[in-house]
Structure 1
């Protein structure tokens, strides 16, 4: 009996240590997910409003509006010095490089389409069309990422789409965009195409994490964002000079309503906002899934009209407030599905290990729990 008691105590201590580590990993995962969500929402909202202010104050270059969406990547380079260098995930460097180049070119074209849409459409209409991205992403996730749908996921998608659709019925949009006729049609088609293209890029990025990178790390997120933005920047700069728009930039800066300093500050902070958005988006893809990243993006759509109230003089109508509540409801539905997955995985761990453990949110485990609906 004297030998049995130390063995029991040792097992209890080992179980307690495992519980502590698992709990720490659990909270770390949630903290990272919240941080990436904040990056995505704040970056997207601020950059969209700044993009509209660029056009409202006399900006006319679609290529410059596109360039600021990708050129801010140098601000991410210092972050690499604070992340652990790990080359294990570079198992197929040529395939990964080809993927980053292809997505970088695709990103440049997609950003141009978004710029044209933002220039020619009222911000409410632009926001509404952005909701179609969720539907496109659901289709691409189904075929490319084998995403399965539960009733709570479907409920979330419907509510988030409805929250954005409500905005089109708002009689107090207060948007003064005057584009009509042919330009309006061009903006509409470009925005829909951009939404479809970006949704496909999200699903392809998730597929790249699954097939090429496999070992998902924070450094991989930053590097992928930098490489793709670099390629996209090169493509846009070449197009800027090839189109001859660069010759008009001096006059555009001088005629900008908020002055030359305001012109440069607008472009600089727009670039920062889109890079913050990019890190948040790619981070959520590797933490959970492409569809989840898009759900967070849809949660932020009603923020556009709210920011327009503050910076563009729009009115915050009751319909906009309802749209925000519906969006929060849809987001809560998605999070509740994740809570159910937590319980299911926890029960599975108990049955397999015979030890009561909190859910361990390792990179692969968390992603697979969402992808395996």
Structure 2
């Protein structure tokens, strides 16, 4: 395995030196990464808890910019991809238990590692490989420890459909992250945080429109009023649960896209997998779930895998900055 050029700076050597992120202090770059990590983990964990509450009460670097046309096509394609991914995941959750679904979703790290290698030319080190493997096992432990019952009356055929849909959702989500990173590096080529918000806003708008069209086309919109009236926690609680679930997922999504922008799609997926272990810990506090040894081991494994990846990015960041400093010193000496 070759040396990983790593965090965000993993670009063409000729353009890396022009990156404005090389001009900021190291602690400022790490602060941006930490903020996006917080957005992702806090947003995803809160959204998962709100989702559980809902189902508990439910009755059932460049000087030029790409053209507007190119950007519109990118946002439209990614938005449709998100909508399709959500539909597949929801279909899988309809026919599978939460534990089985989570176990299959843990495969997204392997998918993302593959896509990152071929699409984003991510180079792997032993630390990164260790991080991917450990975090995958951490998520799997959480999944097999989940004692929730699956939907009753599910036939073998529907179970297979659910399995394939969830596996497809994991693959599409991983592909989506790699395509976002590719868009930032090769097409958008802007290094301002506003492009992160723009991408999140526009692709979410497209995904929302596609979902609304599907809602009306399927006729399920007719059941929404009855679902709201029969919600176990009350009508206002139903509305606020949906609103804050949407808000939390948007906060999480900003963190996802921000980490892709600052570091890489694989790093973003690593943090998402860490959140899989954090969510059960939050459920212990919010829903008074029982804490057991498997959950503790899973959390420790998640932190170990996370630490390995962070350390690798620290090594890569230090190497790139040393090389940049050497180039500046050589240029300075040659000018005299």
Q: Into which bin does the TM-score normalised by the smaller protein fall?
A: 0.7 to 0.9
Q: Distance in 2 between matches of 1:89 and 1:245?
A: 45
Contact kept? 1:117, 1:190, Cα under 8 Å: yes
| Partner in structure 2 of residue 43 of structure 1 | 43
Q: Could you tell me which of 199, 219, 224 is aligned with 2:174? A: 199
Contact kept? 1:133, 1:198, Cα under 8 Å: yes
Q: Distance in 2 between matches of 1:156 and 1:180?
A: 38
Give TM-score scaled by structure 2 length: 0.85
Aligned in 2, Cα 1:223/1:333: closer, same or farther, shift over 3 Å?
A: same
Aligned in 2, Cα 1:24/1:140: closer, same or farther, shift over 3 Å?
A: closer
Q: Could you tell me which of 226, 230, 240 is aligned with 2:215? A: 240
Structure 2 SS opposite 1:302? helix
Contact kept? 1:38, 1:280, Cα under 8 Å: yes
1:283-320 per-position Cα deviation (integer Å, ceiling 9, x unaligned):
00010110110011111111232233344453211111
Q: Are 1:228 and 2:203 matched, yes or no?
A: yes
1:329-358 per-position Cα deviation (integer Å, ceiling 9, x unaligned):
011111111122133224323432338xxx
Q: Are 1:349 and 2:328 matched, yes or no?
A: no
Contact kept? 1:124, 1:305, Cα under 8 Å: no
CA apart distance, 1:119: 4.3
Q: Distance in 2 between matches of 1:35 and 1:120?
A: 36
| Partner in structure 1 of residue 268 of structure 2 | 293
Give TM-score scaled by structure 1 length: 0.77
Contact kept? 1:41, 1:297, Cα under 8 Å: yes
| Worse-matched range after superposition: 340-349 or 199-208 | 340-349
Mapping 1:39-78, distance limit 5 Å: 39-58=39-58, 60=60
Contact kept? 2:22, 2:321, Cα under 8 Å: no
Bigger Rg over Cα: 1
Q: Are 1:326 and 2:301 matched, yes or no?
A: yes
* Structure 2 unpaired stretches of 5+: 1-20, 331-336
Mapping 1:40-119, distance limit 5 Å: 40-58=40-58, 60=60, 90-119=65-94
| Partner in structure 2 of residue 175 of structure 1 | 148
CA apart distance, 1:94: 1.2
> What is the aligned residue count?
307
Q: Distance in 2 between matches of 1:191 and 1:22?
A: 40
Structure 2 SS opposite 1:301? helix
| Worse-matched range after superposition: 136-145 or 22-31 | 22-31
Contact kept? 1:52, 1:119, Cα under 8 Å: no
Q: Distance in 2 between matches of 1:130 and 1:309?
A: 22
Q: Are 1:217 and 2:224 matched, yes or no?
A: no
